[in-house]
Structure 1
């Protein structure tokens, strides 16, 4: 199968301005994901879709393709990632007559990936026969929901636990107390399914499990500072 990696990277970010090119342990944040993609033998092309010239320039310097600027109308706060993916695919079909079998979407705000993790996810995608693979991290279910009262005048009802709260120790937790959450690191989806459903999670789904540490994502300055610590420790262990 032919795989194209697409790395979405908008220039605008309200939570942490210019985060995609912010220096993380000596190189721009986006460079970590670009290099991980380029080191994945199954991936034929690594593309950055961005509306920002600076991001495109940095991406090109680190070996990714960034042949176009994403139109402003699909680069705002309300624009979906799927629209950017479909625009990128359409550009390559029109101008380079290139249509990969599947898209590997990598978010540069999730740079903690084990060496070979992307290859593992691709192998799982092929072996499972699924339409898409979604990377997830474990999430211990300690959630409660607000109680609901049939009589609104009496206010809320009793809160309801969504886990067995009588088992307080972590080692006593059973499988039903642990869930998995999308961590945003790796998405793989068949091109035809993405075009048809216009969603990066569609059809038959297979979960690629990663560690909690690999699931850390950058949205704020605090996230970035924590990421520096995580990445430092992560690479010292390798």
Structure 2
């Protein structure tokens, strides 16, 4: 069984109610649910939430919400690792079927498309990977970044060898949080994900927007409304 898990806790301090906040005509979480279903690569698409409103919206758009999270998984300290383990173990006990792969699709990445999910699955198969994690190129060269010294000193801030034209610097990549696909062996061990069996799926920066603040939300809405996404 290949399952997708969309983790969507009700509490959000920086942008309250963001998972069901209307984004370009539908609740934000709906964009991820629809992409997961449209990809047709999962046997089941689940939403794990502690919020009745999110659960109702998720069901309306076609996801399965078999339960509300237990209280111990609905706190600020609850981890994605715990949430995924709980749902996978519930599924295997309930249906007496073994999960082979799990995808984590965060609802805060609404610009991630069904085609990108399919491509990530293709990367996993082509490379015989045990996991695939989506990344995007850093918006600014990491060579131009550093911590500030005492009293905001910039002494040694940039290595002299890195004072080059931007196009002459090697690109660096960052996790974008949009797609995680992994074998059952990683359930309960997500801290082991970044190992030799894991490969990257590279996404463009527009599709990689991760909504955490109202500015992120407004940018995503602008891109969707003006059809600027490249995927």
Structure 1 equivalent of residue 63 of structure 2: 64
**C-alpha deviations, 1:65-124, integer Å up to 9, x for none?**
001111121121111111101011011112222322110110010011244110000010
How far apart, in 1, do the equivalents of 2:45 and 2:192 lie?
A: 17
Unaligned runs of 5+ in 2: none
Structure 2 equivalent of residue 161 of structure 1: 158
- Secondary structure of residue in 2 paired with 1:208: strand
Whether the aligned pair in 2 keeps the contact of 1:143 and 1:162 (CA below 8 Å) is no
How far apart, in 1, do the equivalents of 2:56 and 2:7 lie?
A: 14
How far apart, in 1, do the equivalents of 2:183 and 2:26 lie?
A: 32
- Secondary structure of residue in 2 paired with 1:98: coil
Structure 1 equivalent of residue 191 of structure 2: 199
Cα–Cα, structure 1 residues 38 and 15, in superposed 2: closer, same or farther, change >3 Å?
Answer: same
- Secondary structure of residue in 1 paired with 2:58: helix
**C-alpha deviations, 1:35-67, integer Å up to 9, x for none?**
000011221110000001111111011000001
Cα–Cα, structure 1 residues 34 and 114, in superposed 2: closer, same or farther, change >3 Å?
Answer: closer
Pick the structure with greater CA Rg.
Answer: 1
TM-score by length of 1: 0.87
Structure 1 equivalent of residue 83 of structure 2: 84
Structure 2 equivalent of residue 219 of structure 1: 212
Q: Choose which of 144, 147, 157 in structure 1 pairs with 2:146.
A: 144
Structure 1 equivalent of residue 28 of structure 2: 29
Q: Choose which of 141, 160, 169 in structure 2 pairs with 1:174.
A: 169
Whether the aligned pair in 2 keeps the contact of 1:34 and 1:59 (CA below 8 Å) is yes
Q: CA deviation at 1:161?
A: 1.9
- Secondary structure of residue in 1 paired with 2:15: coil
Aligned length: 227
Structure 2 equivalent of residue 12 of structure 1: 11
Structure 2 equivalent of residue 151 of structure 1: none
Unaligned runs of 5+ in 1: 149-154
How far apart, in 1, do the equivalents of 2:184 and 2:87 lie?
A: 12
Whether the aligned pair in 1 keeps the contact of 2:35 and 2:113 (CA below 8 Å) is no
Structure 1 equivalent of residue 225 of structure 2: 232
- Secondary structure of residue in 2 paired with 1:16: coil
- Secondary structure of residue in 2 paired with 1:214: coil
Tell me the C-alpha RMSD between the 2 structures. Answer: 2.3
1:98-109 residue pairs with structure 2 within 5 A?
98-109=97-108
How far apart, in 1, do the equivalents of 2:75 and 2:35 lie?
A: 27
Structure 1 equivalent of residue 176 of structure 2: 183
Greater alpha carbon shift after TM alignment, 71-80 vs 13-22: 71-80
Q: CA deviation at 1:165?
A: 4.2
TM-score by length of 2: 0.89
Q: CA deviation at 1:201?
A: 2.4
Q: CA deviation at 1:19?
A: 0.5
